[in-house]
């Protein structure tokens, strides 16, 4: 149920496994996570209450969808506490990679959706405290997540993700912990291999009608490869104020600064085999690096209309700047239509969401109903420059691109849950989306015509699920829904034939998504899930050419992502905790298509046969972690992961090899009066495996592989004053 309206109206002015590696990243001490005692009680999350699937606080066990909740302590305890990848490895179906290149964001995919992203996160919606971190075009980042202040991260997979709109093959949402009394002031400091240092401070309290949680984190590291140095400062704050018994306000603000993060870039298969610790020669020659700055604030107002009805109003605004020096060869920048080798972005973004909620009974059956509308907009001033002046490389040269890329969406949505009987419940919803892209080109020169234009996409996405409880400890469910993904602004930017103008021939990818599953919960001791899933996509958006830093895209027929996943959490004996997860995923092209081997490309000639695997997607992903210990005293854990081989390109001619990794950590916690002291030591990649931490899919030069470090360690200390 997807329609497209296009307009070419011209403007008058004529954007392995890192996932486990981060911990190795050498660093710090997630020690920071010692905040409030409830955040450490791992047994608590067997009875998770989540909101991402239903937008109403609901036990995950009672939702006909695959949804996981990761406690804040898992993100930071005995860990680096900087990258999301460190703490979410136990979530089946979710893969987060690229922890060692801070000039690039982490690579995120859910059930194979989003794995083909060249930069940023696409296909997966990102939220922080209910505020979108994904733009109207569906591209987002998780780099701004401040893990030191997190209460939990929720991960929604499967059909119900579509209720979050464009490019929602899954949803990741981080929630900042509320301030609690008595107040606490937490300091943490960690050191690790490769010059890694992390320091943080967190202040939290509740005084009368006011609650707050403020966190500042500093991180720096030298890296295990030449030209890999990085530094970041992150602030996140959440302030709650109760106006009266019906009304409350929540203010959320976050700031991220990552100046001059060096980019060692990927290696070819031959380079990786010869020396995985080396750096690409082009990275050194062009001094590849990235500076990222972002500031964002949001305000949420909640009003209890009646005992059954409530209203939530949210507004947010932010600004993001990126200055990135790429290693595009000088010769590739000579053509008049080239955008150069320096990317300079200034993005203003914001939006609002209004939501009405009803919780009541219908003929004696519990009913919850949510209806709302959201509007999001971003205006990105994008400039490109040569990355050379004369014979000097890696400097900002002549202007080669100057345009405004504007994206807006206006969505309406509703969803409801109804308990049909003691054993049966139903959840259904629908979302209508309208997404508009406008390009205003201000740089028109001989040989470089106007790239101005606009296009609008619309879609209606229904979804429904049913849950059956044959036993109080066993819930069975099934769900089905439709979804869609528009092209990104960057995917619309260039035409494959090299002519000026947007790539308006691109159509949105449309998907049919289904899953069946079972959930088992035995008291607060055992929680297990298993699910089988299928996503069938039409008009998959794929790379048609990649040359000289410029990628172009096309629709390539049908794809299929199918598989099964399972997870288990088991608390046995007083101090033992076992976590297991496994995902099997077959992601293939159903239809053959052609891509380009030369640029410009008028007629694609290289055949990608039906049955080829989608790049960036492993077939097998297994994780296990055994933890011993309690809230106080000694504790230890042993974790391991196996990741299958990953195709690096659409042609399946290059693969990142399968690998296994083992990590061990231990530490001691003690209370001294009202204060708490914590120390820990962690050893990552205990078996000293050399593997690919991230795959740069479809990289034109064949430098697909970003390596992970060998054996490395980190240690830290945390002091909490209460």
pLDDT at 354 over 60: yes
Q: Which residue's entry shows tokens 């592989």?
A: 705
- Concatenated DSSP letters of 319-386: EEEEEEE----GGGG-STT---SEEEEEEEEEEEEEEEEEEEEETTEEEEEEEEEEEEEEEEEEEEE-
pLDDT at 404 over 80: yes
pLDDT at 45 over 90: no
For residue 320, count other CB atoms closer than 10 A to its CB: 20
Q: Where are the alpha helices (DSSP H) in 140-286?
A: 269-274, 281-286
- With cut-offs at 50, 70 and 90, classify the pLDDT of residue 48: confident
* Model pLDDT for residues 82-92, shown as the tens digit of each residue: 999 989 999 99
- With cut-offs at 50, 70 and 90, classify the pLDDT of residue 516: very high
- With cut-offs at 50, 70 and 90, classify the pLDDT of residue 496: confident
Between 704 and 551, the higher pLDDT residue:
704
> What is the rounded CA–CA span in Å between residue 75 and residue 571?
19
pLDDT at 94 over 60: yes
What pLDDT was estimated at residue 546? 75
Token duo for residue 105: 């964001």
What pLDDT was estimated at residue 239? 98
pTM for the structure as a whole: 0.91
What pLDDT was estimated at residue 548? 64
Mean pLDDT for the stretch of residues 13-30:
32
Mean pLDDT for the stretch of residues 359-388:
96
- With cut-offs at 50, 70 and 90, classify the pLDDT of residue 549: low
pLDDT at 44 over 90: no
What pLDDT was estimated at residue 17? 35
Supply the mean pLDDT for the chain: 90
Mean pLDDT for the stretch of residues 294-305:
98
What pLDDT was estimated at residue 605? 85
pLDDT at 104 over 90: no
pLDDT at 2 over 70: no
- With cut-offs at 50, 70 and 90, classify the pLDDT of residue 427: very high
* Model pLDDT for residues 377-397, shown as the tens digit of each residue: 999 999 999 999 999 999 999
Sign for the CA dihedral angle at 311, 65, 470, 571 comes to negative
pLDDT at 47 over 70: no
Of the listed ranges 37-46, 285-294, 375-384, the one predicted with least confidence: 37-46
HEC sequence for 99-156: CCCCCCCCEEEECCECCCCCCCECCCEEEECCEECECCCCCECCCCCCHHHEEEEEEE
Please count the CA atoms within 13 angstroms of the CA of 58 that sit on its side-chain side. 25
Token duo for residue 684: 């990552």
What pLDDT was estimated at residue 434? 97
CA distances from 346 to 239, 349, 350, 405, 699 (A): 28, 10, 14, 10, 26
What pLDDT was estimated at residue 599? 64
Of the listed ranges 32-36, 98-102, 248-252, 283-287, the one predicted with least confidence: 32-36
Do residues 561 and 574 touch, judged by C-beta distance below 8 A? no
CA distances from 161 to 42, 60, 110, 192, 483 (A): 26, 15, 11, 38, 8
End-to-end CA distance of the chain: 56
Of the listed ranges 90-99, 527-536, 561-570, the one predicted with least confidence: 90-99
Number of domains in the chain: 1
Residue 328's CATH number: 2.40.170.20
pLDDT at 3 over 80: no
pLDDT at 22 over 90: no
> What is the rounded CA–CA span in Å between residue 93 and residue 689?
24
* Domain with 143 in it: 2-721
* Model pLDDT for residues 551-561, shown as the tens digit of each residue: 889 999 999 99
How many H-runs (helices) and E-runs (strands) does the chain carry?
Answer: 6, 42
pLDDT at 16 over 50: no
CA distances from 103 to 229, 346, 609, 656 (A): 10, 17, 34, 21
> What is the rounded CA–CA span in Å between residue 246 and residue 255?
31
pLDDT at 23 over 60: no
Percent of the chain with pLDDT over 70: 93
Between 212 and 43, the higher pLDDT residue:
212
pLDDT at 20 over 90: no
600 three-state secondary structure: coil
pLDDT at 633 over 90: yes
* Model pLDDT for residues 221-252, shown as the tens digit of each residue: 999 999 999 999 999 999 999 999 999 999 99
Mean pLDDT for the stretch of residues 637-663:
96
- Phi-psi region at 395: left, alpha or beta (left = phi > 0; alpha = psi -120 to 50): beta
Q: What is the largest CA-CA distance in the chain?
A: 79
Percent of the chain with pLDDT over 90: 80
- With cut-offs at 50, 70 and 90, classify the pLDDT of residue 13: very low
């Amino acid at each position: 149920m997807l329609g497209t309206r296009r307009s070419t109206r011209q403007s008058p002015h004529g954007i392995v496994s890192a996932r486990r590696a981060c911990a190795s990243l050498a660093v710090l001490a997630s020690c920071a996570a010692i905040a409030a005692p409830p955040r450490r009680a791992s047994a608590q999350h067997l009875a998770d209450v989540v909101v991402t699937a239903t937008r109403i606080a609901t036990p995950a066990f009672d939702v006909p969808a695959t949804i996981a909740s990761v406690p804040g302590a898992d993100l930071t305890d005995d860990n680096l506490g900087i990258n999301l990848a460190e703490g979410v490895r136990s979530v089946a179906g979710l893969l987060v990679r690229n922890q060692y290149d801070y000039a690039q964001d982490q690579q995120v995919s859910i059930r194979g959706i989003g794995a083909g992203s060249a930069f940023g996160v696409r296909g997966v919606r990102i939220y922080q405290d209910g505020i979108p971190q994904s733009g109207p075009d569906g591209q987002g980042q998780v780099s701004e997540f401040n893990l030191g202040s997190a209460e939990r991260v929720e991960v929604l997979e499967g059909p119900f993700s579509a209720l979050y709109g464009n490019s929602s093959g899954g949803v990741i949402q981080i929630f900042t912990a509320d301030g609690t009394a008595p107040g606490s002031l937490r300091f943490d400091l960690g050191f690790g291999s490769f010059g890694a240092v992390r320091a943080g401070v967190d202040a939290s309290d509740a005084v009368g009608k006011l609650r707050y949680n403020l966190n500042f984190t500093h991180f720096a590291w030298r890296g295990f490869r030449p030209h890999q140095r990085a530094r970041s400062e992150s602030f996140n704050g959440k302030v709650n104020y109760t106006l009266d018994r019906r009304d409350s306000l929540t203010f959320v603000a976050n700031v991220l600064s990552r100046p001059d993060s060096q980019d060692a870039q990927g290696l070819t298969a031959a380079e990786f085999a010869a020396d995985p610790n080396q750096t690409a020669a082009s990275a050194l020659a062009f001094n590849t690096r990235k500076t990222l700055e972002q500031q964002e604030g949001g305000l949420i107002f909640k009003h209890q209309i009646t005992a059954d009805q409530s209203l939530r109003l949210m507004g947010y605004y932010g600004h993001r700047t990126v200055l990135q020096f790429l290693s595009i060869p000088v010769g590739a920048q000579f053509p008049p239509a080239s955008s150069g080798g320096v990317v300079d972005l200034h993005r203003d973004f914001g939006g609002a969401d209004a939501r009405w909620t009803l919780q009541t009974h219908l003929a004696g059956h519990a009913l919850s109903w949510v209806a709302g509308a959201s509007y999001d907009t971003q205006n990105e001033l994008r400039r490109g420059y040569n990355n050379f002046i004369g014979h000097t490389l890696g400097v900002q040269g002549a202007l080669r691109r100057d345009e405004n890329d504007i994206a807006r969406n206006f969505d309406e949505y509703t969803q409801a849950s109804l308990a049909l009987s003691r054993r049966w419940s139903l959840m259904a919803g629908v979302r209508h989306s309208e997404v508009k892209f406008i390009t205003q080109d201000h740089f028109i020169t001989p040989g470089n015509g106007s790239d101005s234009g606009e296009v609008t996409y619309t879609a209606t996405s229904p979804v429904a699920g049913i849950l059956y409880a044959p036993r109080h400890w066993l819930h069975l469910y099934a769900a089905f829904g439709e979804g869609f993904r528009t092209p990104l602004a960057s995917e619309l930017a260039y035409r494959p034939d090299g002519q000026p103008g947007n790539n308006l021939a691109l159509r949105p990818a449309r998907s049919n998504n289904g899953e069946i599953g079972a959930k088992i919960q035995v008291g607060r001791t055992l929680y297990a899930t298993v699910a089988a899933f299928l996503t069938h996509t039409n008009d998959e958006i794929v790379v048609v050419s990649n040359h000289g830093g410029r990628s172009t895209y096309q629709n390539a027929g049908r794809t299929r992502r199918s598989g099964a996943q399972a997870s288990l959490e088991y608390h046995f004996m007083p101090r033992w905790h076992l976590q297991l997860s496994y995902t099997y995923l077959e992601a293939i092209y159903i239809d053959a298509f052609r891509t380009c081997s030369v640029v410009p490309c008028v007629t694609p000639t290289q055949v990608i046969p039906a049955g080829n695997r989608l790049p960036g997607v492993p077939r097998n992903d297994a994780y296990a972690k055994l933890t011993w210990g309690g809230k106080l005293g000694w504790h230890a854990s042993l974790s391991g992961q196996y990741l299958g081989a990953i195709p690096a390109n659409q042609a399946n001619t290059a693969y990142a090899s399968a690998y296994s990794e083992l990590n061990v950590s231990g530490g001691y916690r003690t209370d001294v009066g009202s204060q708490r002291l914590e120390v820990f030591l962690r050893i990552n990649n205990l078996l000293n495996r050399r593997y690919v931490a991230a795959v740069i899919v479809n990289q034109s030069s064949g430098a697909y592989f970003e390596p992970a470090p060998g054996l490395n360690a980190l240690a830290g200390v945390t002091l909490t004053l209460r």
